[in-house]
Structure 1
């Protein structure tokens, strides 16, 4: 009975943790778009790292306050699919899609991206431990980002995004003429779907924007 009860408690805890983690990106988007900086930084631990030389929620709030004043007038972040995997009961990681719109002066910039997240539970509450933004494109609403260098912010040099760089399969797909003919791989182990897809690929270096 003790083992069964413990197992049931662990399963309930996992379900509650999944729900709490799934709400983090939605809360982040709402706080960001409504410019509630206190609400936004409360989604991170008290000792959150901010760049190389600063830490803490106050430092993060000051950074985000500066970043969201220019060139953005208004933003809207639309949260998509969310994959969550647990490292242990108090640590998890995930991938979440985000489609964003930005009012930037006389242009309306749309963006497609994903976040590679780490999550941590402290004192019974789940937080973002880290958010790595991976961008595919950013462009004026009336200018489809066809071709290379899809990150096209107004009055800046066009650059390539990093949307596909966390997962090697995209480059591999386009490097061959058709199906490889190799046997189909076994399904990924439980809690290892993202790790299996990454196949040891390290995270790309990212110049972080406010998104």
Structure 2
């Protein structure tokens, strides 16, 4: 193994760990309402909405969202898959199981984030976080059936948990015939697992809570 290859592999391992730390720091800083620590995890020119950019706008948006909707939150991070598009850019999927104190109700949620990460001046940041929700409901009301996003005081609406990946609709489109074994595609290359699963599926429109 040549020296350049060893350096590249070490950089990849260190980058993976730093990116994983981003997800944990995101959850802790959000739940503890340290908004300066929170927005510092994002690129300085992070896009906020359609027309605004920068951490100040992001802080204002997060502050407004947390104050009017939640007394307290707890975000529990699950599996985290990371792939590099080049040495300074990566994508990832992070599962998150969340709890929210919302007035008189205790709302639980299952979701995932589709992330874009970027290394700027030697540090990794979120370039974008796309939240895709499966359900949100009161702890005592299992979200069976359609329209699984069930926030207090709002009409139920569908989440976007499965919308990034075309395999969900394909799986339920019809049962396969069992008179022969199914074809199996070759495993995806190391850095193309997520990209192959998603294909050319565009990002879904995320409904604001």
TM-score, scaled relative to structure 1: 0.95
User: SS of the residue aligned with 2:81?
Assistant: strand
Match of 2:127 in 1: 129
In structure 2, which of residues 174, 177, 189 is the aligned counterpart of residue 176 of structure 1? 174
What residue is the counterpart of 2:200 in the other structure? 200
In the alignment, structure 1 residue 100 sits paired with structure 2 residue 98: yes
Contact 1:133 1:208 in 2 (8 A): no
Deviates more, 1:175-184 or 1:30-39: 175-184
1:176, distance to aligned residue in structure 2 (A): 1.5
In structure 1, C-alpha distance between the alignment counterparts of 2:164 and 2:8, rounded to whole Å: 31
Mark the runs of 5 or more structure 2 residues left unpaired by the alignment.
none
Question: Are positions 1:139 and 2:154 aligned together?
Answer: no
Q: Does residue 164 of the first structure (1) align with residue 165 of the second (2)?
A: no
Cα distance between partner residues in 2 of 1:51 and 1:203: 15
Matching residue of 1:48: 46
Q: CA RMSD in A?
A: 1.2
Q: Structure 2 CA distance, aligned partners of 1:83 and 1:64?
A: 25
Instruction: Report how far residue 199 of structure 1 moved.
Output: 2.3
Q: Whole-Å Cα distance in 1 between the matches of residues 124 and 172 of structure 2?
A: 38
Q: CA deviation at 1:207?
A: 2.3
Task: Tell me the SS of whatever aligns to 1:94.
Answer: strand
Distance change in 2, residues 1:82/1:208 (3 Å): farther
Counterpart selection for 2:10 from 9, 12, 27: 12
Q: Please, what TM-score do these two structures have when normalized by structure 2?
A: 0.96
Q: Give 5+ residue unaligned stretches, structure 1.
A: none
4+ runs of 1 displaced by more than 2 Å? Answer: 178-182
- Match in the other structure for 2:187: 187
Q: Secondary structure at the match of 1:158?
A: coil
